[in-house]
Structure 1
Amino acid sequence: MVQVRREPLADKAAELLLARIRSGEWTLGAKLPGETTLAPQLGVGRSTVREAIRQLAGRGVLASRQGAGVFVTALDVPEDWDAVLRRADIVSVLEARIAIETEAAGLAAERRTPAELRALRRALADRAARRSGLEDHVDADTAFHRAIVVAAHNPILTELFDGFVPRSREAMISMLRLRGTFGSDADHDTHAGLLDAVAAGDARSAAERSRTHLAELKARLS
């Protein structure tokens, strides 16, 4: 005789219970109905309800108290710790980028050559053309920002930027995956404005635009 596995049903029952908690049907600290009530509501057996409750207890949403019942201890699943750590790492990367690229942008506005301006315009156009693939877009974005650092004519800043690229690339890809969107027209306009400030020789504006752009990325992760 083949035994029917209850895990998929339990997963579904757990999600249904979680959806009802999220909707406000049960408030924080509320006691859930008993298994005999929940089972027909969820369309599963009592043993599946028990498994669903165990799942949500393991995720910090419910707590079973012996002799008292099952109580709501959170109104949603606490955020995955790995995601928290990923965001913390991305914030550190963005802070380092602010330190390097803000100074580089200001220097680039003062020191860029006509050839470097042409390279920057090509890099911006390439970045705009590569919006369909996430990793492709990050690579084009990195090339644009590197062109600004190179135009600063400070070999130490370029060395810092280049040594930081593998870590920065990984963090930017993770950030955009968390956000789910990238390559918007507004984002392109932000980079075009940075290039305009560099081209105009406005060091203060170039540095401020670079800092503001990266600081806004950081703020969205909080």
Structure 2
Amino acid sequence: MPLGSLRPSPLVEQATQHLREQITQGEWPVGTRLPGENALAKTLGVGRSTVREALRALAGAGLVQARQGSGVFVIATEISEDWPARLRRAAITDVYEVRMMVETQAARMAAQRRTEEDVAALEEALAARERAAAQDDAAFVDADIALHAAVVAAAGNPVLTDLFAEFAPALREGLIGLVEVLGLRSHDRNPGHDTHAELVAAVRDGDGDAAGAILQAELERTLAHLHDA
């Protein structure tokens, strides 16, 4: 399949798409050394910098690998799905089960490691959640997730913090849908306030067992709603 010259814009995206098609359709099997940048640039009708960026994108997708002094080689013909993409297509119940395991332990750690700054952040996040009760479902869910993120941050483990941040977009989408479908705020605009206040108090007081148990029970209730939705 000939590559053909590209339209003027957006050049990098077009170059990446054309090269990806060559690979995924089997024109360049695994182990093949790609033509050099000059040759690809001439064939595609773009500059070398555009080709370089396209190859970098293909490397990020797990399709090619640059080998020092040898060139760029095809290492796969199927795109490796990144973690955020897998989370986006995962069932919200599956995401929530993992979240529950991670966050419950994080709450225990937060109670042991929290600083004065962490406690202040938790109390402000709790107040922000209460204020968001007067707003729409999306704003309330955002405030709820922000409070949980503050608990995770108080654990003092940057890997846990980053992991929760990866979960957050999938959680947000699923929780907004759950609140709307089940009408969870139709009778109480601030559901779970007492439980979240107890969680913040347990972390503040250094009671890891209580913090973990409170959060476990809260997340189990939400997971049950998700299974029933």
Matching residue within 96, 99, 118 for 1:97: 99
Distance in 2 (CA, whole Å) between partners of 1:177 and 1:93 is 19
Distance in 2 (CA, whole Å) between partners of 1:217 and 1:100 is 15
When residues 130 and 185 of structure 1 are mapped into structure 2, their CA distance, relative to the original with a 3 A threshold, is closer
What do residues 97-122 of structure 1 show as CA deviations (whole Å, max 9, x unaligned)? 20111011000000000111011000
CA contact (8 A) 2:184 2:191 kept: no
Unpaired segments ≥5 residues, structure 2 = 1-89
| Partner in structure 1 of residue 173 of structure 2 | 170
Query: What are the residue-to-residue correspondences of 1:47-58 with 2, within 5 Å?
Result: none
Distance in 1 (CA, whole Å) between partners of 2:191 and 2:171 is 22
CA contact (8 A) 1:120 1:147 kept: yes
CA contact (8 A) 1:93 1:171 kept: no
Aligned amino acid, residue 110 of structure 1? Q
Distance in 1 (CA, whole Å) between partners of 2:218 and 2:156 is 22
Give the number of the structure whose alpha-carbon radius of gyration is greater: 1
Q: % of aligned pairs identical?
A: 41
Unpaired segments ≥5 residues, structure 1 = 1-87
Alpha carbon RMSD of aligned pairs, Å?
Answer: 1.5
Distance in 1 (CA, whole Å) between partners of 2:100 and 2:189 is 21
What do residues 44-70 of structure 1 show as CA deviations (whole Å, max 9, x unaligned)? xxxxxxxxxxxxxxxxxxxxxxxxxxx
Matching residue within 144, 149, 166 for 1:146: 149
| Partner in structure 2 of residue 55 of structure 1 | none
How many pairs align? 135
| Partner in structure 2 of residue 117 of structure 1 | 119
When residues 133 and 185 of structure 1 are mapped into structure 2, their CA distance, relative to the original with a 3 A threshold, is closer
1:190 matched to 2:192? The reply is no
| Partner in structure 1 of residue 224 of structure 2 | 219
What do residues 146-166 of structure 1 show as CA deviations (whole Å, max 9, x unaligned)? 000000011111110011111
1:204 matched to 2:209? The reply is yes
Matching residue within 161, 165, 182 for 1:179: 182
Distance in 1 (CA, whole Å) between partners of 2:168 and 2:223 is 18
Query: What are the residue-to-residue correspondences of 1:13-92 with 2, within 5 Å?
Result: 89-92=91-94
1:156 matched to 2:163? The reply is no
Q: TM-score, normalised by structure 2?
A: 0.56
The runs of at least 4 consecutive aligned structure 1 residues that moved more than 3 Å come to: 183-186
Distance in 2 (CA, whole Å) between partners of 1:97 and 1:114 is 26
Aligned amino acid, residue 208 of structure 1? A
Q: TM-score, normalised by structure 1?
A: 0.58
SS class of match (2:156): coil
SS class of match (2:192): helix
SS class of match (1:162): helix
Of stretches 144-153 and 177-186 in structure 1, the one that deviates more from structure 2 is 177-186
CA contact (8 A) 2:126 2:197 kept: yes
What do residues 123-179 of structure 1 show as CA deviations (whole Å, max 9, x unaligned)? 000000101310000111111000000000111111100111111111111111121
When residues 155 and 144 of structure 1 are mapped into structure 2, their CA distance, relative to the original with a 3 A threshold, is same
